[in-house]
């Protein structure tokens, strides 16, 4: 009776804590996400793909900065830097406009590009919000926990508190839509619908392939070849549609796309990870911290890819050891975390960290509880846009400004988000190795037990001899 009463008390306490924290998390999410999205409706991350898709529909070069400047929506003010920087070719390097999203995304965004910008931005905000809801609802389903359970509630709180989600909604970035498409593809595979899964996966990869990559890798590890074949065919069809439309107008888009990408990643560019870019600490890729050691862009790239490949290989070695209800979510957690390290990723792409957080929630009272709690603890700084906060503090305080110039600050403090992601990847792989070792011991003990049970007892003279 005491145990039953204690259990009921714990359940009530957990429910009370959830009821207190949920309104606070919703308020925090609303202020940093939707409310800021209203402020940024005139100029956000979706504006460039919108204009580029409009250019594609008209048979103009979507990667030419001058075309983007000419097609800037009349319903919104044109920033003063757009026209001069589009003429001298510095717009891509300084602002990331035109965006380097692949050509395959334009057929999918065409219906929105046919709308006036105020309507298109409002619809995109609704799509982004719906995508966030889809992610929040589908994550417990992938984790195989009931939606009304305490674990599902904790996953919802993690999503509401994860600052990359706030930034993605506020800026209207494509990451939320791609993430949601990947989750829907994953659930459709679980239901045996390979066709829908392949089409959804193709749509996500067409918009932002670096975010869809974890799903592609996990599907390949699961040998879902039919799903991947359908996704490849659908992606190829989107590319042919987009490419033929623009080639029929006599435009060679690659002549603009490649130079623009090079300018964005060149020293001082908006996507540069070296000291020439003052906003580099908003990036999540390993090159940011490796450059502080190597002072070489090539070596930073090589070492980042080597580390990521080594982590991924470690996961692949023990891949078959992880089975049961936690396998799907765990594999997405590992691959999603590792995939942030070698590629160019900005803060909003940290939405993928919901995977390791959800796994940790499901394991916080299980056999991996120590590692799970460490994952939750190290992820706490992602409740804030850490790099932006540190930059703002350093800009308004002379002491912090001087500290921000120190090598140790730029190696450890400013890129702390990268260190956290690396630590989470290591913790997840440690959990996998621990599970693999425990399963091996259990399997060995089971075999030994079977051998003892099947061994015939010795009696009489044979027993005396032995």
What's the mean pLDDT in 306-333?
83
Is 346 contained in some domain? yes
**Mean model confidence pLDDT for the chain:** 90
Q: Please say whether the beta carbons of 421 and 355 come within 8 A.
A: no
Residue 396 forms part of a structural domain: yes
- Residues 224 and 295 both lie in one domain: no
Statement: residue 154 has pLDDT above 70: yes
Looking at the structure, do residues 244 and 279 belong to the same domain, yes or no? no
pLDDT > 70? residue 351: yes
What is the pTM for the complete model shown? 0.91
Reduced DSSP (H G I as helix, E B as strand, rest coil) percent helix, strand, coil of the chain, to 5: 75, 0, 25
Give yes or no: residues 169 and 249 share one domain: yes
Q: Span 299-312, mean pLDDT?
A: 97
Contact status, residue 206 vs residue 173, Cβ threshold 8 Å = no
DSSP state of 346: B
Provide the domain count of the chain: 2
Peptide bond into 98 cis (omega under 30): yes
- Averaged pLDDT, 23-47: 92
Residue with structure tokens 């359940």?
11
The pLDDT, as a whole number, for residue 61 is: 95
pLDDT digits (tens, 9 = 90+) for 236-251: 999 999 999 999 999 9
**In terms of domains, do 133 and 230 share one?**
yes
Please check whether residues 421 and 281 belong to one and the same domain. yes
Give the DSSP letter string of 382-449: GGS-HHHHHHHHHHH-HHHHHHTTSHHIIIIITTHHHHHHHHHHHHHHHHHHHHHHHHHHHHHHHHHH
Tell me which of 191 and 357 has the higher pLDDT.
Answer: 357
pLDDT attached to residue 147: 87
Instruction: State both tokens at 94.
Output: 């300084």
Asked if 350 and 438 sit in the same domain, the reply is: yes
> Residue 10: its pLDDT value, please?
61
Q: 170 and 298: one domain?
A: no
Residue 328 has pLDDT above 80, yes or no: yes
Domain edge (last residue) among 205, 232, 258? 258
pLDDT for residue 465: 38
Tokens of 88: 């001298």
Distance between CA 250 and CA 61 in Å, rounded?
9
Q: Please say whether the beta carbons of 266 and 93 come within 8 A.
A: yes
294 shares its domain with 419: yes
Evaluate whether residue 19 is within a structural domain. Answer: no
287: left (phi over 0), alpha (psi -120 to 50) or beta: alpha
Domain range for 367:
268-442
pLDDT of residue 466: 38
pLDDT value for 208: 96
Using CA atoms, how far residue 410 sits from 268, 401, 405, 407, 415, in Å, is 17, 12, 7, 5, 7
The pLDDT tens digits of the residues spanning 42-78 come to 889 999 999 999 999 999 999 999 999 999 998 888 8
9 pLDDT exceeds 70? no
| Chain segment 81-114, per-residue pLDDT in tens | 999 999 998 999 999 999 999 999 999 999 999 9
Query: Are 312 and 332 members of one domain?
Result: yes
In a domain, 150, yes or no: yes
pLDDT of residue 176: 97
Does 237 share its domain with 277? no
Is residue 239 one of the residues assigned to a domain? yes
Give yes or no: residues 285 and 318 share one domain: yes
pLDDT in tens, 395-437: 888 888 899 999 999 999 999 999 999 999 999 999 998 887 7
Q: Are 205 and 301 in a shared domain?
A: no
């Amino acid at each position: 009776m005491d145990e039953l009463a204690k259990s009921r008390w714990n359940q009530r306490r957990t429910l009370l804590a959830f009821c207190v924290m949920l309104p606070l998390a919703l308020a925090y999410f609303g202020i940093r996400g939707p409310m800021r999205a209203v402020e940024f409706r005139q100029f956000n991350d979706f504006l460039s793909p919108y204009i580029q898709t409009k250019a594609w529909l008209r048979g103009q070069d979507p990667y030419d900065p001058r075309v983007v400047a000419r097609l800037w929506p009349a319903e919104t003010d044109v920033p003063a830097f757009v026209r001069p920087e589009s003429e001298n070719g510095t717009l891509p390097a300084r602002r990331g406009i035109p965006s380097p999203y692949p050509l395959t995304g334009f057929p999918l965004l065409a219906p929105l590009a046919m709308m006036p910008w105020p309507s298109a931005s409002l619809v995109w905000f609704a799509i982004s919000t719906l995508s966030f809801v889809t992610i929040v609802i589908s994550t417990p389903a992938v984790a195989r926990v009931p939606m009304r359970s305490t674990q599902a509630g904790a996953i919802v709180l993690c999503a509401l508190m994860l600052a990359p989600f706030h930034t993605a909604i506020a800026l209207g970035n494509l990451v939320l839509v791609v993430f949601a498409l990947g989750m829907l593809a994953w659930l459709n595979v679980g239901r045996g619908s390979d066709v829908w899964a392949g089409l959804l996966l193709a749509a996500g990869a067409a918009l932002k392939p670096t975010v869809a990559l974890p799903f592609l890798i996990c599907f390949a590890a699961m040998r879902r070849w039919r799903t991947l074949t359908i996704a490849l065919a659908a992606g190829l069809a989107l590319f042919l549609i987009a490419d033929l439309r623009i080639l029929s107008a006599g435009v060679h888009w690659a002549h603009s796309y490649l130079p623009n990408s090079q300018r964005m990643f060149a020293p001082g560019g908006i996507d540069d990870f070296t000291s020439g870019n003052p906003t580099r600490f908003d990036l999540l890729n390993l090159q940011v911290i490796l450059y502080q050691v190597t002072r070489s862009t090539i070596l930073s790239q090589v070492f980042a890819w080597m580390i990521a490949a080594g982590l991924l290989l470690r996961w692949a070695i023990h891949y078959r050891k992880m089975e049961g209800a936690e396998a799907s979510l765990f594999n997405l957690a590992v691959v999603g975390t590792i995939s942030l390290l070698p590629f160019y990723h900005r803060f909003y792409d940290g939405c993928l960290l919901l995977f390791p957080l959800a796994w940790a929630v499901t394991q916080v009272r299980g056999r991996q509880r120590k590692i799970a709690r460490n994952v939750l603890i190290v992820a706490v700084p992602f409740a804030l846009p850490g790099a932006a906060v540190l930059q703002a503090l350093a800009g308004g305080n002379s002491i912090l400004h001087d500290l921000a110039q120190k090598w140790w600050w730029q190696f450890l403090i400013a890129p702390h988000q990268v260190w956290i992601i690396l630590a989470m990847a290591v913790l997840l792989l440690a959990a996998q190795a621990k599970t693999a070792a425990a399963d091996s011991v259990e399997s060995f003990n089971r075999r030994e037990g079977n051998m003892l049970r099947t061994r015939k007892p010795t009696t009489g003279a044979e027993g005396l001899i032995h």
